[in-house]
Amino acid sequence: MTMVTYQRMCLFVDVAGGELWLNPHGHIVAQTCEWLVERYTYVKLDQYIIMPNHFHGILRIIESDNLCSRGGLRPAPTEKTRTKPLGQLIGLLKTCSTKKINLLRATQGLHIWQRNYYEHIIRDEIELDKFSTYILSNLQTWTDDPENIV
């Protein structure tokens, strides 16, 4: 998945000495990702990278008999055990990070993320390797990236 900042503003990374470093806003995005994985145990975050004005990540939604089954002697699913679809998980990531960043900046109600996101379902190990490599190399190609408006 890819999420882009509102109006492509460079918000998450500072450039110092020719290198990119996560700033406090970028750390909030990273912490929010960690929170999402802790809160929803069926979500695993593979490779990800926080860029100045966007985020790339591979989210795995792990199916489990306890989470996806709806019959037999198991208790009815509750809000805590029900598997959330990808869109809701990304919505949580955006909402929580936005609130924390706006609190830090004292800018209540400002947009941090563009509406929507880009997703691609990875179907096999070849695609997983391709997207993992892309994510890991994204930082090295930032200076040539057409999205780089700095």
Identify the burial level of 12 via C-beta atoms within 10 angstroms of its C-beta, where 0-12 means exposed, 13-18 middle and 19 or more buried.
buried
* Domain annotation covers residue 64: yes
Q: Record the pTM.
A: 0.80
* Domain annotation covers residue 131: yes
Other Cβ atoms within 10 Å of 112 Cβ, number: 23
* Domain annotation covers residue 124: yes
Cβ-based neighbours of 27, under 8 Å, separated by 6 or more: none
CATH number at residue 47: 3.30.70.1290
- When comparing pLDDT for 147 and 82, which is higher? 82
pLDDT computed for residue 147 by the predictor: 58
- The residue segments making up the domain with residue 131 are 2-141
Other Cβ atoms within 10 Å of 22 Cβ, number: 15
Number of domains in the chain: 1
Phi, psi of 25 (to 5 degrees): -70, -40
* Domain annotation covers residue 149: no
pLDDT computed for residue 16 by the predictor: 78
* Domain annotation covers residue 150: no
Per the prediction, the chain carries an average pLDDT of 85
* Domain annotation covers residue 13: yes
pLDDT in tens, 72-110: 444 455 555 578 899 999 999 999 999 999 999 999 999
Residue with tokens 């900046």: 105
Cβ-based neighbours of 11, under 8 Å, separated by 6 or more: 5, 25, 26, 52, 53, 101, 112
